[in-house]
Structure 1
Amino acid sequence: MIISLPPALAKQLSDSRAEYAGPSSAVVPPHITLVSGRATDDWADAAAHVRKVAAAAEPFRISLRGTGTFEPVSPVVFLNVDGGAQDCARLHGELLQGPLEHLLEFDFHPHLTIAHDLDEAAMARAKAGMADFVADFEVTSIGLYDYLGGGWALREELALGGSGR
């Protein structure tokens, strides 16, 4: 489950990511992960749970402000989710109250990855180059993805309760 970005912001960040990581960065579009994992049992049950959580949630605002890093634990430079982090954490927790499993070895920390597993110079350029980045957008839906045919594919874009999207 992810939060997708408005198209213009997604394009801007895709271009920035390509500047640091090259064209291979386009394989995964910019997003904020809510749960990186899998259904613990039946896909239909997991999808129904995600739909229920989305329907009960209210739209909220995300504010991206500057960069952070998970180094030295993990070679990642990211944009900070300054505003909306608590909303993301709440959604993350509610999503995990059903038949979903979060498969990352680290605690959940809302962020938007800019650079990952690059050489030190590229990581430093990404961190410095995006340090003053600022963007705000409204989250009105979450994306339910499935791993199909060797890649992630959007199965459903689910409107947050009352957002009409």
Structure 2
Amino acid sequence: MRTGYGEDRARHIPTHITLMPPTPVAPEQLSPLRRHLAEVAATHPRFEVLLRGTGTFRPVSDVVYVQVAQGVSSCERLERAVRAGPVSRTLDFPYHPHVTLVHDQPAPVLDRAFAELEAFTCQFTASSFRIYQHGGDEVWRRVEDYQLTG
């Protein structure tokens, strides 16, 4: 969907709801992080997510997104648990679960995405989360999936 709004880099960014922003992880932190994420997944149940309508972070950030209308509190619990592990970080902005549609594009493109997808709706069961590694080639690669079994 993002590539339709001029974001060529979006071909390498899987559609997602972020739990932790891109964060440098030292090689010696990877095993403890993976163990922590497995524990988080084992203590959190699957949950329903409803995506509906558009939102924006403008003027703070040139982003248009699909809003999480159901499942917000479950996303927030997961986000807090993930960040409480061996690789923690402070957030630049308060956590706000969403699915990015357009990022850093001209205002007319942001406006078009906001209008064209304002009636968008999608429902699914969140049954897992995934850790990615960002390569020097700007591609996000899957490292591991964690099934929500709590």
Q: Same fold judged by TM-score > 0.5?
A: yes
Q: Which residue of 2 aligns with 1:64?
A: 51
Give 5+ residue unaligned stretches, structure 2. none
Distance 2:32 2:118 in 1: 41
Q: Which residue of 2 aligns with 1:34?
A: 19
Q: Which residue of 2 aligns with 1:49?
A: 36
Q: How many residues align?
A: 147
Question: For the Cα contact (< 8 Å) 1:39–1:99, is it kept in 2?
Answer: no
Question: For the Cα contact (< 8 Å) 2:12–2:140, is it kept in 1?
Answer: no
1:157 equivalent in alignment to 2:142: no
Cα deviation, residue 106, structure 1: 1.3
Question: For the Cα contact (< 8 Å) 1:38–1:103, is it kept in 2?
Answer: no
Q: Which residue of 1 aligns with 2:66?
A: 79
Distance 2:109 2:25 in 1: 35
Taking a change above 3 Å as real, the CA distance of residues 133 and 102 of structure 1, as seen in their structure-2 partners, is: farther
TM-score (norm 1): 0.82
Q: Which amino acid aligns with 2:87?
A: L
Q: Which amino acid aligns with 1:31?
A: H
Taking a change above 3 Å as real, the CA distance of residues 103 and 155 of structure 1, as seen in their structure-2 partners, is: farther
Q: Which residue of 2 aligns with 1:4?
A: none
1:21 equivalent in alignment to 2:12: no
Cα deviation, residue 18, structure 1: 2.1
> Cα deviation per residue 1:13-55 (whole Å; 9 max; x = unaligned)?
x3xx222125442121211111112447611001100110011
Q: CA RMSD in A?
A: 1.8
Q: Which amino acid aligns with 1:35?
A: M
Question: For the Cα contact (< 8 Å) 1:39–1:101, is it kept in 2?
Answer: no
Q: Which amino acid aligns with 2:149?
A: G
Q: Which residue of 2 aligns with 1:144?
A: 131
Give 5+ residue unaligned stretches, structure 1. 1-13
